[in-house]
Amino acid sequence: MTPTRPSLPAGKTIAAIFVGQSLGMAGIVSFPALLPQFRQLWSLSGSEAGLISGIYFAGYIVAVPVLSALTDRLDPRRIYVVSLLCGAVTAFGFAAFADGAASAAWWRFLQGAAFGGAHMPGMQALCDAVPPERQTRSVAVYTASFTVGVSLSYALSGALAGAFGWRFGFALLAAGPLAAAATAWIVLPPLSRAAAQVSSWLPPLGAIFRNRQALLFICAYGLHNGEVSAIRAWLVALLVFAADRAGRQDLTGYATLVATIANLCGTPLIVAVNELAARWERRAVVAATMVTSAMAGVFLAAAAAWSPFVAAIAAIFAVSVATADAGTINAGLVAASEPERRGAFLAVQAVSGFGASAVTPILFGLILDLAGGAGSEAAWIAAFAAQAVIGAAWPFAYLRNSLRGRRAMPSRAG
């Protein structure tokens, strides 16, 4: 690929896209941020609430295989900007037309599809705009924008809905993707792709599955995203449970404020853990983070029964650790993939990650219903424990393979 006009210095480009992408995600958790209110307003079961949260990522995985793979053929800047504009339209559509489980799920699906055209193509556009030696670090910073965007979405959704009502407040969230589109169009240089770099408009799955190093990070991304998606979808509801159990219904805005802080605290950890992985074995760092996160989730569920303050501290720790390895996993995939097929690798990784993101909030809500409902401490612990078992799969596989590798090494003569 070749730029058709000079680009900004790498540092300024990374910073501008970080801010723009964060703004572009203004509506990503708008529904989970007001989940208790919507459950009451539309008489939603736990499974229905989980479906509306999770179907966002179903929309994502429908769009991302084609749109992300197309960045190997077309200028990713154009795909990114058009998708952000679609995100603004769908954010307004939810605000104007959602009036129950079915319509809310439909508009969340469309919002997810728009985000599918922005997230990974945006990462590819940023990688194309910076020198190769800055790419892994730029990926970690770009990944950190996800947690800032989620935090911003929690804060804006709660504040705007409280000030103007949820419909008008959610309509205002459409300004975020519009600002992101303008930023990307100004900052990112347009690129001219070499013709016919690949023979298919879909990801070359054979080449991807033969790259075992990349495949490891693709699987890790699926488990990581599934865990984080479930926590983000149900965190506000859990914190409301903690306040209600303590008889503190006066804690207005407590749940969305804690969710905002918790996601923000994960941002520096994403960059820090990626720097740590550059000095240590990257897969070991990912495995250790996943194990810590699984235990932190179960502790969070138990802490909700103690007091709102303890639940808040546990939430900040659990969410921070859950998001901490995102940049490390993404940077690992970028380093392991062939540059001319990077868009295809990112597409498959996105399907893995956000496919899991679509399923886990629904599974979490189903377990919550079966174990006693959102008013039961045991039900919350059961849901987080099930999530912990799933999240520990990758660290277990890594540990087993590492032990096998050590046994296979020939012993040296004394």
User: One digit per residue, pLDDT tens: the chain, 414 residues?
Assistant: 545 444 567 788 999 999 999 999 999 989 988 988 999 999 998 889 888 988 998 898 889 888 877 877 788 899 999 999 999 999 999 999 999 999 999 999 999 999 989 988 898 889 888 888 777 778 878 888 888 898 899 889 989 999 999 999 999 999 999 999 999 999 998 876 554 354 455 556 677 778 888 888 899 999 999 999 899 889 989 999 999 887 876 665 788 889 889 988 888 888 888 888 878 888 889 999 999 999 999 999 999 889 899 999 999 999 999 999 888 898 888 888 877 777 778 778 888 888 888 889 889 999 999 998 888 899 999 999 998 998 888 888 888 777 665 554 444 333
Cross-strand partners of 3: 191
Which of 365-373's residues contact partners 24+ apart within 8 Å by CB, and which partners? 365/45, 365/46, 365/47, 365/48, 365/49, 365/50, 365/51, 365/53, 365/234, 366/46, 366/47, 366/50, 368/46, 368/234, 369/45, 369/46, 369/47, 373/46
pLDDT score recorded for residue 281: 84
Amino acid at 384: F
Backbone angles phi, psi at 192, to 5 degrees: -105, 115
Question: What is the C-alpha to C-alpha distance for residues 405 and 407, in angstroms, rounded to an integer?
Answer: 5
Q: Is the distance from CB of 374 to CB of 46 less than 8 angstroms?
A: yes
Task: Return the exposure string of 31-48: e unless at least 16 CB atoms fall within 10 Å of the residue's CB, then b.
Answer: bbbbbbebbeebebebbb
Q: Residue 11 has what pLDDT?
A: 83
- Cα–Cα distance, 381 to 378 (Å, whole number): 5
Buried b (16+ CB within 10 A) or exposed e, 199-230: eeeebbeeebeebeebbbbbbbbbbbbbbbbb
Structure tokens at 360: 């886990």
CATH H-level, domain 7-188+203-405: superfamily: MFS general substrate transporter like domains (1.20.1250.20)
Torsion of CA 58, 218, 147, 105, to 10 degrees: 10
Torsion angle defined by CA atoms of residues 83, 351, 329 and 52, in that order, rounded to the nearest 10 degrees? 70
Q: Which residues lie below 8 Å from residue 107, measured CB to CB, with a gap of 6+?
A: 90, 93, 94, 97, 98
C-alpha 10/C-alpha 16 separation (Å) is 10
pTM attached to this predicted model? 0.74
pLDDT, position 407: 52
pLDDT of residue 52: 92
What are the tokens at 320?
């921070």
pLDDT of residue 196: 39
